Amino acid sequence: MSRKPLIVGNWKMFKTGAEAKATARQLVCLIEDRKKVEILICPPFTALSVVSSVLQGSLVQLGAQNVHWGDDGAFTGEVSAHMLLECGCRYVIVGHSERRQIFLESDAIINSKLHKVMEKGLVPILCVGESIEEREADQVEKAIVTQLEKGTRELNLKQRTNIVIAYEPVWAIGTGKTATPQIVQEVHRILRTCLADNFSWKVADQIRILYGGSVKAENVTELMSEEDIDGVLVGGGSLDAQAFARIVEAC
């Protein structure tokens, strides 16, 4: 089964509109002809529109880092899927561990977001991952399978093939401690098997499972050589256009 690799840059709460525009411009020049992989950047909300105009006609796509589960309403500080579409987004990161831990997003909330995102025609990137305590207590499988099953609850047949999963062990995010390719492959296999059990192997084989956590040009090739690793979600390593372009190149 060939799954087109997806390389995602998550800029988190970094870059003003002007800074984001400059980085996006640089990136578009650097990765003009990379057609074998799909490339996506997720700037902060305030930079989406300006980055969208820079990306017009390029191979770099636009995504958001978060979304609300409703259509519209009195939700101070929130942004809807419809608004993201209007900004030119195609993907949305849902359930990042920083959203789960700092902003206390539950699996139920994450599932509602997933449904809304798909209803509007955007592709969700559902993040799952264990904490260091869970890993040390041998609870990795339980933690990730629970997040995956609760997060993807009640998706219809068409929606099932249209999601991306990102495995991001919390202990590897922003720490410089990348999980080894063997650890990641093992977890991705568990996730794919879980998708097959809940959906079917035909569907599970089509779903891209990305890895995220201290990815850089030096470790990405080895990670991508594993059978079930279909791309990467890059935080810190995506902020500099040249560094991110090197990661894309290495893929």
In whole angstroms, the minimum distance from the beta carbon of 53 to ligand PGA comes to 25
In whole angstroms, the minimum distance from the beta carbon of 67 to ligand PGA comes to 16
Among 130, 168, 228, 230, binds ligand PGA (CB under 6 A): 168
Nearer Cβ to ligand PGA (160/213):
213
Choose, from 68, 96, 115, 188, the residue flagged as catalytic: 96
- Residue in 196, 94, 204 with CA at minimum distance from that of residue 147: 94
Among 32, 137, 174, 197, binds ligand PGA (CB under 6 A): 174
Here the tokens at position 171 are 């202990």
User: Going residue by residue from 41 to 60, which x/- string records binding to ligand PGA, judged by CB under 6 A?
Assistant: --------------------
State yes or no: residue 184 binds ligand PGA (CB under 6 A): no
In whole angstroms, the minimum distance from the beta carbon of 169 to ligand PGA comes to 10
Give DSSP secondary structure letters for 39-93: EEEE--GGGHHHHHHHHTTSSEEEEES---SSSSSS-TT---HHHHHHTT--EEE
Nearer Cβ to ligand PGA (121/174):
174
Choose, from 68, 134, 168, 188, the residue flagged as catalytic: 168
- Is 98 catalytic? The answer is no
User: Going residue by residue from 208 to 247, which x/- string records binding to ligand PGA, judged by CB under 6 A?
Assistant: ----xxxx-----------------xxxxx----------
Here the tokens at position 116 are 């809304």
Residue where the block lists tokens 């529109």: 49
Can you tell me the distance from the alpha carbon of 124 to that of 66, in angstroms, rounded to the nearest whole number?
Answer: 10
Can you tell me the distance from the alpha carbon of 42 to that of 235, in angstroms, rounded to the nearest whole number?
Answer: 10
| Cα 180 to chain centroid, rounded | 19
The three-state secondary structure class of 30 is helix
State yes or no: residue 103 binds ligand PGA (CB under 6 A): no
- The kind and range of the H/E element at 144 are helix 140-151
Catalytic residue numbers read: 96, 168
Which chain residues interact with ligand PGA by CB under 6 A? 10, 168, 173-174, 212-215, 233-237
